[in-house]
Amino acid sequence: MKKASYLIPLSLILIIASCQAPKEEKVEEEIKFEIEVKNIKMNGNDAKVFNLKNGNGMEVELTNYGATISRISVPDRDGNSGDIMLTYNKVEDFVTDSYFFGATAGRYANRIANGKFSLDGETYQLATNNGKNHLHGGVKGFNQKIWEAEVLELEDAVGVKMTYVSADGEEGYPGTLTSSISFILGKENKLTIDIGATTDKATIVNLTQHGYFNLSDMKEDILGHEMTIFAEHYTPVGAGLIPTGEIAPVAGTPFDFTSPHKIGERIADTGSGYDHNFVVKKEHDGQLAKMSEAYHAGTGRVFTMYSNMPGVQFYTGNFLDGKQTTNGVTYVKNYGFCVEPQFFPDSPNQPTFPSARLNPGETYSHKIEYVFGVR
C-alpha cells in the first residue's frame, strides 16, 4: 500500500516598519515554515513522521514512535546544512533501537538502583534492565510507545504535540500518568521541547530527550569538540553508575567544564568515559538556565542547551559498539555525545537530591531549548 503523504505550508509575513520619516516605504521579509507528514508502519503499528523546516536552513525530523527526534540538520559557518544527530538509515529502523537515539526517555530517565523506590511507605519494584538496576523507564519505556500526535498551528514557528497515557502499574510505576511533549521549531534555529505530565496517584517522573550529537558532519568522533558545562558540582558514581549520594565540586577534576575543554582532553582520567550527572542547581527552582555549550572548530557549529531541570547527564557514547552504520558512517565509541537535562539519577533513593515526586493536582513541567549557531 502506498504511503500517504501531504505537505502543510505555514508562512509568516514579518512587517518591519521603518524608523525613518513617515514617507519611507515598509520592508517586508517572508519567513517560510513547512511541515511534511508521512504515514508509516512501526513494528506493524501505524505511526507518523514529521519533517519540520524553518526556512533558515534548519530541519527537524520527528516520529511519534517514542516521541523521537530522528534527525536534525543545521548549517555550518559556510551555510551548508548537515546532519548533527546519530540516527538510523530510515525511521522504521528505530523499532530495533537499543541506544536511545533521539528518544524520549521515561517514565524515569537514567538509573534507579536495584529498580526499587518507596513512596508513602510503599515499595515499588521496577524492571531491572541495566544489570541489577532500572534504566530509562524499563523494558518497554516511553521510547517504544506510539504517542498520539497533532500538528500545532503557530504564527511564528512550526510544531508537533505528542501525548501518551501510561497506565497505573506500567513497568511497575504507580499512577496513571498523562504526558505531553511539544516540539516547536522557530526561525532562529531554535528547537523548543515542552514536556508536561499529570498523575492520579503519587509517583515519580523524570522525562528527557536522549539525542546523540556530533557537529562534524559525521566526519570524526566527538573527542575534538569543545564542551562547556555550566555546573560547579557533579554527582560521583559507584558500581553500575549509581550515584554515591555525594555532591562533589568539579574543580581540580576532569569533570570541570566550567571553561571550554575538548571532550577528549581528560577523558582517559575518568576511566571509561563521561556518563555523569552535572549539578547545575542543587535545588529545583524550575527556572530556565544555560546548561551546556558545544563547539566544533571545523564546521563552526555551536550547540547551546537550556533547561529548567537541576541537572544534566553528560554522556560520551561509551557504549557505542560499531554495530550500527548509517549513511556509510559506523558509530563506534565516542562518536556522539548526549546532554540530557534531568532530575539526578537515583533521586527517589537519595533524600538529599531534588525530588522527582509528582502528586495528583500537580503538573510536571520540563522545558528544553536547543539553540544552534556558528562562529
Task: Give me the mean pLDDT over the 71-82 stretch.
Answer: 98
61 alpha carbon, distance to own chain's centre: 13
CA distance 131 to 78: 46
In the structure grid, which three cell numbers stand for residue 310, read together? 537541576
Tell me how long the chain is: 375
pLDDT for 26 equals 45
Task: Give me the mean pLDDT over the 221-234 stretch.
Answer: 98
Residue 15, pLDDT above cutoff 70: no
- In three-state secondary structure terms, 206 is strand
Q: To the nearest 10°, the Cα dihedral for 247, 249, 253, 255?
A: 60
Supply the DSSP symbol for 355.
P
For 321-360, b/e burial (b = at least 16 CB within 10 A) is eeebebeeeebebbbbbbbbbbbbbbbbbbeebbebbbee
Residues 6+ apart with CB under 8 A from 258: 228, 229, 230, 231, 232, 250
CA distance 138 to 118: 17
Do the Cβ atoms of 371 and 303 come closer than 8 Å? yes
Which of 19-23, 196-200, 229-233, 269-273 has the least mean pLDDT? 19-23
Residue 224, pLDDT above cutoff 50: yes
- The dihedrals phi and psi of 373, each to the nearest 5 degrees, come to -155, -170
pLDDT category of residue 265 using cuts at 50, 70 and 90: very high
pLDDT category of residue 18 using cuts at 50, 70 and 90: very low
Residue in 134, 136, 210, 276 annotated catalytic: 210
- In three-state secondary structure terms, 235 is strand
Task: Give me the mean pLDDT over the 67-78 stretch.
Answer: 98
Residue 8, pLDDT above cutoff 70: no
Beta strands in 176-266 (DSSP E): 177-186, 190-199, 203-204, 208-210, 226-229, 233-235, 248-249, 261-262
Which of 1-10, 43-52, 250-259 has the least mean pLDDT? 1-10
Which of 19-33, 119-133, 215-229 has the least mean pLDDT? 19-33
Which of 17-21, 82-86, 122-126 has the least mean pLDDT? 17-21
Name the residue with higher pLDDT: 31 or 89. 89
pLDDT for 9 equals 47
Residue 94, pLDDT above cutoff 70: yes
Share of the chain above pLDDT 70, in %: 92
Task: Give me the mean pLDDT over the 170-180 stretch.
Answer: 98
pLDDT for 321 equals 97
pLDDT for 29 equals 58
Task: Give the β-pairing of 5-16 and 116-119.
Answer: unpaired
Catalytic residue status for 232: no
Residue 206, pLDDT above cutoff 70: yes
In Å, what is the CA distance from 267 to each residue of 98, 242, 243, 317?
24, 19, 19, 12
Catalytic residue status for 233: no
Residue 7, pLDDT above cutoff 60: no
CA distance 240 to 156: 45
Task: Give me the mean pLDDT over the 178-197 stretch.
Answer: 97
pLDDT for 32 equals 86
**H helix intervals, 199-242:** none
What's the mean per-residue pLDDT of the chain?
A: 93
Q: 61-65: list long-range contacts, CB under 8 Å, 24+ apart.
A: 61/91, 62/160, 62/183, 63/91, 63/94, 64/146, 64/147, 64/148, 64/149, 64/160, 64/162, 65/91, 65/94, 65/95, 65/144, 65/145, 65/146, 65/147
CA distance 225 to 219: 12
Task: Give me the mean pLDDT over the 188-211 stretch.
Answer: 98
Query: Which domains, and CATH codes, for the chain?
Result: 5-374 (2.70.98.10)
pLDDT for 153 equals 85
Name the residue with higher pLDDT: 22 or 160. 160
Task: Tell me which residue has cell 508562512.
Answer: 11
Do the Cβ atoms of 353 and 344 come closer than 8 Å? yes
Q: What is the pLDDT of residues 121-167, one digit of tens each?
A: 999 999 999 999 999 999 999 999 999 999 998 989 999 999 999 99
pLDDT for 10 equals 42
For 163-182, b/e burial (b = at least 16 CB within 10 A) is bbebeeebbbbbbbbebbbb
- The dihedrals phi and psi of 349, each to the nearest 5 degrees, come to -110, 10
pLDDT for 3 equals 39
Task: Give me the mean pLDDT over the 173-182 stretch.
Answer: 98
